[in-house]
Structure 1
Amino acid sequence: MLMTTNRPEPAEAGIGLAGGEAAALYRLMTWLSPAFPVGAFSYSGGLEWAVEAGDIVDAASFGDWLTAMLADGSGFCDGVFLCHAYRAVEAGEDRTLHDVAELAAAFVPSRERQLETSTQGRAFIETARAAWSCDGLDQAIACCEAPIVYPVAVGIVGAAHAIPLAPTLHAFLHAVVSNWISAGSRLIPLGQTDCQRLLAMLEPVVAATADRALAATLDDLGSATFRADLASLRHETQYTRLFRS
């Protein structure tokens, strides 16, 4: 029988971890693991077209593409939406959460990216409600009339479980980058060692992007990854496809 969980209390301590840190770490590792059933493996975020078009041909060009996506594209924007959704739930600001969810759902450049982020968001919310329910989660979800996109979903669930914002954001960005690299490993293709080198190379970029997102207002939203947006649009009519985006 599945059991629901309540908001983690400070007394929930693991050996070597203070307070609720053990529960928070366990949940973040679970929710943002490739094994968590959001279907992330089905999407490439436009990478498939970029590889076919010759924009990405090896580990070096792939690293440049991902750096731009993180710092100046959807990585940063999704991080901002996660932070603002989290803070709205934490403060009990239902109207603000509704507005953030609505803006995030409208902020994607193509139909396939909309499918990608809304499908993953819905799957994340449904699984969290079924296996990781907690006080306040249903109320927060009910505030969002628009589709709950993936970063907003993670922000809502993280806040409802009282997991600190900074590690929630870092774990989310790590999961996003890991999925991009996984898609690239199949498309370019790349070996496992090259994939790990890319993940290591992007560590400071993830950290810097998270810091910017934590300090950003909604007025700071914006991207400059036009080629990636075009890749997402053109993937819709690509003749042969392994991925849904």
Structure 2
Amino acid sequence: MDPLSNLEDKFSFESIDSSEKRKEALNEAIQMMESYVKLDNSVAVLSDLASNKSYIFTGNFGVFFNMHSPEYTTIDSIWEDEIYQRIHPDDLFQRHLLELEFFNFLKIVSPEERLNYATKCRIRTLNTKKEYQYILHRSFYLKNSSEGGLWLAVCLYNYLFEKSGAVLGIDGKIINTKTGEIFQIDTYENCINLLTSREKEVLILIGKGVISKEIAAKLNISLNTVNRHRQNILEKLNVTNSIEAVRTAEALNLL
């Protein structure tokens, strides 16, 4: 299971409108994406963070994923697992780190400016011949709620026409599509304050194989406090276990 497959804990704190307010805006967004994939030829995933549903639109790039539906499909998740299963595990991990960085980046941007930003990266993905091929991945938020919370997210998949060159990894970027400003993502600076100093101490000891009872004794805190820190760490890093937490924190340069 990929280490950042659940951003629900982050999204759950966003300010979301009532279902009636969302319905009209969602229908408008669906119509927009139906037209967009016809122009862009991409596969698009529109994720509704409020209802935990996604709508998948298949342009001509759908043949890469063996997707041929003329109509959009609906899944009960904000994660397109059918596509994730085709992505190289290392690239999927890095892609989710980029999304976590993007989410935290947008939290310091005014709601009206957030929609001007997008991510861009390249990811190795299995083609119809079961061979890894670099494709283009982009993501952005299409709509905020009326109260300024992040609401409708879009992921786009398409052919990568640029030459890969000597660039390592997924070559993740955050781009201001209005001004053209590019933020190369290699330090995850917007995630630097995700963990408190105490949570970092606990996670370092976890990484060394120290059990909770011994962590409590070393840090002179109660076992309940250690367990609470452990749970907070998992939620903040959007992972499901301590091994994934250590790996993610090290990748984000938090330890």
TM score, norm. by length of structure 1: 0.30
Say which structure is richer in helix: 1
Say which structure is richer in strand: 2
Higher relative contact order (CA 8 A, sep 6+): 1
TM score, norm. by length of structure 2: 0.29
Task: Indicate the structure (1 or 2) with the bigger Cα radius of gyration.
Answer: 2
